[in-house]
Amino acid sequence: MNTCRCMLNFYRFAGRKFSTVSSINVGDKVEMQRIFTEADMVSFTALTGDDNPIHTDSAYAAKSIFKKPIVPGVAVVGLLSGLIGGRLPGYGTIFVSLSLKFKSPLYFNEEVTASAIVKSIDKPRAVIDLSCVATKSKRELLSGECGIVLPKELCS
């Protein structure tokens, strides 16, 4: 099984390495960790217009089942996009499907680990199916699957 750090075949764009479809195998995995802060929420709100008080208002959130503001689930999903578009496979890759279940909240200033594992590869069509998970202290926050398509440059 390969990880993003040890793939031998790659395509270089703007000084960065990207996996080619021929170097990707079922079981390959990439992951990243991130801590979301309240400052990230300000940026997220400006970008998306999502000013839901469950994310932005401590007094409101205190009365909810969560007891304090939670990180938007879609912000966590953004980590998966970063993994796929930036690491495995990388440059030019696009989502064609995404199905997720949100299981548990993430609070600000907690570390989350997002990971994607290759489940199947259709090399002639450059289509890859991945299993996606985000965890906090080994507890699943979200899980699901996505389908991606590689650009022609990565189809060697």
Give the pLDDT score at 50: 84
- Asked if residue 16 has pLDDT above 70, the reply is no
| Global confidence as pTM | 0.79
Residue 95 pairs in a beta bridge with 148
Q: Which two tokens stand for residue 100?
A: 């997720």
State the chain's maximal CA–CA distance in angstroms.
54
Q: Mean pLDDT check: name the lowest of 10-24, 31-45, 133-147.
A: 10-24
Instruction: Supply the DSSP symbol for 41.
Output: H
Q: How many CA atoms lie within 13 A of 96 on its CB side?
A: 13
Whether the CB-CB separation of 105 and 144 falls below 8 Å is answered with no
